[in-house]
Amino acid sequence: MKNINKLIRMYFYICTAYDRELCLHHQRMSNNYQPDFTDQEVLCIFFYCLIVEKRIQVKDIYDFADNYWRTWFPDLPKTYEGFLTRLNELYAVFPPFIVYMLDESMEQSGQKQLVFFAQQVLNAIDSMPIILAKGARRFNAKVAPKLCERGFCSSKNLKYYGLKLHVLGFVRKQKLPLPEFVGISPASNHDLTVVKPLFETLYNRAIYADKIYAKKDFEQWLLSHNNTEILTPVKKKKGQEQLSYKDRIYSFAVSQVRQPIEGFFAWIIEKTGIQNASKVRSEKGVRTHVFARFAAAVMIMCLDFL
């Protein structure tokens, strides 16, 4: 079998992470607390097929395992629905798995991969839409109403039903940002409102962000209390046709630093298909779709499984 070493290495890594941390987030209070088809096998099949075999859809992941891996995973459910149910039941495991991998990466590399300006650590922040329905279909969409709402993405000029994925990352030289914070919010929420409590906990940072995060009063408070700056491109004033040369240069410099976070979103969409959640039909499914695929991206970045 091709890439057998990668499969074995991934399985043992997942087993170690599960025993150390992930098992605490998925406890079964029933007689079937140790199913024959283990949680570790579910995770291994999902991550391996997504990362190595590049199977974006869960149906394709199951079909691949069913056709080629029955000897390796003899207790694999007989139906796709059974596999999907097991995967979605692990929704609470994926966020701590992301934290586990990122903490391990930081322990190995320390602060060598971070970029400093004076005494401040450079960060970049942005959000991207996770789309469950768009166009006329967004008015009839009712999946996961506690997580999803109708919203508008100005960068894509897109009206949709879904949620936003927010990522704050460490800026790194000639590399994609390393995520520090990952969160979700309904599509209608304002980005600054969502991340404002997070910003209040950060000290000695220079955060490069889009214009939507600009708010002078909060920026001044954050700088005076936390020595943290929010750097955004300059907005045109009402009636102003063109920015001054100085403002254009400043805006260009800010955009250059925060460009990798936009590249990160494009990369994760390409590798995992995270933006398209049109086939998800439950709240657990939404959480699994977002955080499982983000965990796969972190696994690619930190563990070199490609």
Pairing of strands 229-231, 205-208: parallel
- Distance CA(129)–CA(275), nearest Å, equals 7
**pTM: predicted TM-score of the whole model, two decimal places:** 0.94
Q: DSSP code of 125?
A: E
- Distance CA(175)–CA(269), nearest Å, equals 17
Residue 128, C-beta contacts closer than 8 angstroms, at least 6 positions apart: 164, 165, 167, 265, 269, 275
Q: What are the beta bridge partners of residue 133? A: 161
Q: What is the pLDDT along the chain (306 residues), one digit of tens a residue?
A: 567 888 999 999 999 999 999 999 988 777 777 889 999 999 999 999 999 999 999 999 999 999 999 999 999 999 999 999 999 999 999 999 999 999 998 888 767 778 888 889 999 999 999 999 998 999 999 999 999 999 999 888 999 999 999 999 999 888 899 999 999 999 999 999 999 999 999 999 999 999 999 999 999 999 999 999 999 998 877 777 788 888 889 889 998 988 999 999 999 999 999 999 999 999 999 999 999 999 999 999 988 765
Q: In this structure, are residues 280 and 143 in contact, taking their beta carbons and an 8 Å threshold?
A: yes
Q: In this structure, are residues 226 and 200 in contact, taking their beta carbons and an 8 Å threshold?
A: yes
